[in-house]
Amino acid sequence: MSQDLIRETACAVVDKLRAGDVTPLDLLELLEKRIAEVDGKVNALPTLCFDRARKSAKALMQKPVAERGRLAGLPVPIKDLTDVAGVLNTQGSPIFRDNIPARSDILVEHLEGNGAVVYAKSNTPEFGAGANTFNEVFGATLNPWDTSKSAAGSSGGAAVALATGMAWLAHGSDMGGSLRSPASFCGIVGMRPSIGRVAHTPKSAVDRNLGVQGPMARNVEDLALLLDAMSGEYAADPLSLPSPATSFLSAARSGKKPKRIAYSPDLGITPVDPEVRAITRKAAERFAEAGVIVEEAHPDWREAHECFHVLRAFDFAISKANLLRTKRDLLKPEVIWNIEEGLKLTVERLERAETQRVAMTARAVEFFKTYDLLLTPTTIVPPFPIENRYVAECAGKRFDNYIEWLGIVYAVTLACCPSLSLPCGFTASGLPVGVQVVSAPRADAEVLAGAKVLEDILGVRGTTPIDPRVKK
């Protein structure tokens, strides 16, 4: 098989699978070779499971093409926070460096039922904590545009695999930008869908919804294809939603333009690097070329920092407190801090945070009665040096903790809105910048349609995959 196939879109490769021009085994052979050539420079896919993948591919190939699901045998890596039966799942933690689950997460079972072939686990920070992908088990994942820079996180391994041609599609997850920030830093597309859009196995609490699972890809159409393959209702996940009557891929291809969009450089809550601000503003204003009204506006989400700090801390407390009690010496400082912050919470602080979130969501719903989409920078800085654990300051403001620099994405999380990071340009030094495209709760199709219109205007589709640019 020609290595040129690595550069094809996921939609085109699935068409070739359906036509019988290639087989899932052919694709696995290509990926195995590409990973051998590239991954040593970026460390995106530390755990490979090609024997399992080939067994799955052969079983799938016994079925008629029409019964092989939406992905028809396309290989997909899974983030190393999510269980895949028989495959190492470390969660980026020394505590689980030898953990091999017996059963896959609902998400993985659903993807495999839709024709995905799992061949690797993508790197993540410990328990997904922190927007810089490094851990004590596998080390750091490097940004392929400049290997001295961070790939962000926590879905950094997935983003880098896409950007370097080690994946056509990838699974990720997102609480405070964990899909969107790596997409911005690596020049690919990542979407945080609406709550319940992608079913997963509930853990610690049935109604945990700050974090969601979502798709990552190199362009909007491919992203929509994967969201279709991920979507669907499962009784075991009581928050899960049925698949829509019209596919997300059809929505992305509809050509439906928003009538009026808002751009905000900062949501009124965060500093932003001047170069990032200029690049994203210019991208948003280009919507006008399609006859779209562009105005500067944003919802009132002033409570975002306080609210997210409390609700994230509570989530860490209910999911990780036992590890603090029994394995404290194996946890990184940021995770310890998050859990301890959660254990200190009072019912009054939780009540206040939940009330704030309800108000933020209500204001979002009202805002989107006027505007079809809201655009912002996805990250407030370009990719930063890999040795920095997180962004400590921006535009002269020092942050109080390691997550505050992510306010521009976690405000959207709190308001229950679907959002997507779309590549929109490059800094003067050649580093990618992403623009965040946001819509009303459950308006996932509108995000995809609008993002595809802007993607066509900007003409940045096809800038990946690249070979890693090794710098020190």
Q: Answer whether residue 176 is part of any domain.
A: yes
Q: Residue 370 is inside which H or E element, if any?
A: none
Number of domains making up the chain: 1
Residue 471 has pLDDT above 90, yes or no: no
Q: pLDDT band for position 242 (50/70/90)?
A: very high
Averaged pLDDT for residues 66-83: 98
Q: pLDDT band for position 217 (50/70/90)?
A: very high
| CA distances, 142 to each of 88, 186, 273, 383, 448 (Å) | 22, 10, 22, 10, 28
Give 141-180 pLDDT, tens digit per residue: 999 999 999 999 999 999 999 999 999 999 999 999 999 9
Alpha helices by DSSP H, 328-368: 333-343, 347-367
Q: Answer whether residue 303 is part of any domain.
A: yes
Task: For residue 253, give every residue at least 6 positions away whose Cβ sits within 8 Å of its Cβ, in sequence order, or none.
Answer: 221, 224, 452
Q: pLDDT band for position 338 (50/70/90)?
A: very high
Locus of tokens 């190939």: 61
Pairing state between β 47-48 and 293-296: unpaired
Residue 3 pLDDT:
85
Q: Answer whether residue 177 is part of any domain.
A: yes
Q: Indicate which CATH number applies to the domain containing 404.
A: 3.90.1300.10
Cα–Cα distance measured from residue 151 to residue 142, given in angstroms and rounded to the nearest whole number = 6
Give 400-455 pLDDT, tens digit per residue: 999 999 999 999 999 999 999 999 999 999 999 999 999 999 999 999 999 999 99
63, 64, 60: which is closest to 52 by C-alpha? 60
Q: Answer whether residue 470 is part of any domain.
A: no
Give 272-290 pLDDT, tens digit per residue: 999 999 999 999 999 999 9
Q: What residues are labeled active site?
A: 79, 154, 178
Q: pLDDT band for position 2 (50/70/90)?
A: confident
Q: Answer whether residue 277 is part of any domain.
A: yes
459-471 burial, b for 16+ CB within 10 Å, e for fewer?
ebbebbbeebeee
319 contacts 331 by C-beta, under 8 angstroms: no
Residue 1 has pLDDT above 80, yes or no: no
How far is C-alpha 218 from the geometric centre of its chain's CA atoms?
12
Residue 249 pLDDT:
98
For the CA atoms of the chain, what is the radius of gyration?
20
Q: Which domain holds residue 202?
A: 3-458
Q: Answer whether residue 208 is part of any domain.
A: yes
451, 464, 471: which is closest to 386 by C-alpha? 471
Locus of tokens 């001047």: 274
Q: Residue 252 is inside which H or E element, if any?
A: helix 248-252
Tokens standing for 279?
């690049």
